[in-house]
């Protein structure tokens, strides 16, 4: 069995990838679709025993899948976890560890092969944030050959960040399934206005997720 898989990339960090991925996961599950959601490489994740773990991407994604927060589920969702809230390569160094792109790609390929239904893979930081000492998130995405869902914010500057990421994906031949604008706090323009500006140049459908909103049906229908 081979999953229909999608890579959730970011125009930057802390802009809503996990929020959007969790919302999408809930929406697909509510429609009765088989979905598995993973964040293979995660930095800023304290140990499971730490009360702060509940705020981690791994915890949020497990919660969206209705899974228990136990060691087995955590390991299956995020096999490479680092405590420091830094670029993962730097966080790994602080723990005297390192990560090889081939291992990360191999793990994802195995998940794609054994998952039934839809597999959502959340990336790390922005599209070109480092994932190892040598490789970026774009290298990871290209090696997997998956289509991308690009998550953007709506803060001032987000339009250029999103379109720069769209151009980079296009240049490297990565299929862009859709862009999702996740409303940033205190943004000076409505998220819908930012989404419309991105839509004029993105060459892909653009959806908008207001603060606290669930996944819009038109976005779930694209996945």
Q: Which residues in this chain contact Mg ion in the complex, by CB under 5 A?
A: 17-18, 57
Exactly one of 26, 39, 81, 161 is catalytic; name it. Answer: 39
Smallest distance from ligand ATP to CB 25, Å: 12
Could you tell me which residues come within 8 angstroms of residue 45 by beta carbon, excluding any fewer than 6 positions away? 53, 56, 57, 58, 78, 81, 82, 83
Q: Are 4 and 88 in contact (CB under 8 A)?
A: no
Q: How far apart are CA 70 and CA 49, in angstroms?
A: 10
Instruction: Lay out the site mask for ligand ATP across 113-132 (x = CB under 6 A, - = otherwise).
Output: ------------x-------
Q: Which two tokens stand for residue 108?
A: 């994802």
Q: Which is nearer to Mg ion, 17 or 161 (CB)?
A: 17
Indicate which of Mg ion, ligand DNN, ligand ATP, none lies near residue 87 (CB less than 5 to 8 Å, by partner kind).
ligand DNN
Residues of this chain, 58-97, that bind ligand DNN according to CB under 6 A: 85-87
- Is position 113 annotated as part of the catalytic site? no
Say what the alpha-carbon torsion angle 103, 128, 190, 155 is, to the nearest 10 degrees: 120
Contact residues toward ligand DNN (CB under 6 A) are 13-14, 43-44, 85-87, 124-126, 129
């Amino acid at each position: 069995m081979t999953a229909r898989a999608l890579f959730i990339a970011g125009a930057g960090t802390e802009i809503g990838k996990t929020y959007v991925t969790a919302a999408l996961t809930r929406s697909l599950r509510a429609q009765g679709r088989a979905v598995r959601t993973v964040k293979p490489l995660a930095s800023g994740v304290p140990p499971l025993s730490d009360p702060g773990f509940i705020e981690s991407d791994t915890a949020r994604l497990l919660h969206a899948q209705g899974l228990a927060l136990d060691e087995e589920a955590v390991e299956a969702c995020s096999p490479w976890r680092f405590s420091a809230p830094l670029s993962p390569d730097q966080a790994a160094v602080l723990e005297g560890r390192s990560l090889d792109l081939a291992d990360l790609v191999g793990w994802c390929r195995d998940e794609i092969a054994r998952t039934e239904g839809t597999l959502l893979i959340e990336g790390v930081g922005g599209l070109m944030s480092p994932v190892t000492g040598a490789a970026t998130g774009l290298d990871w995405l290209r090696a997997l050959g998956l289509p991308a869902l690009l998550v953007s914010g709506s803060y001032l500057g987000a339009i250029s960040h999103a379109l720069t990421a769209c151009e980079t994906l296009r240049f490297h031949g990565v299929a862009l399934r859709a862009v999702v604008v996740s409303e940033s706090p205190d943004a000076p323009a409505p998220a819908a206005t930012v989404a419309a500006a991105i839509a004029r140049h993105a060459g892909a459908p653009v959806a908008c997720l207001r603060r606290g909103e669930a996944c819009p049906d038109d976005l779930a229908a694209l996945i």
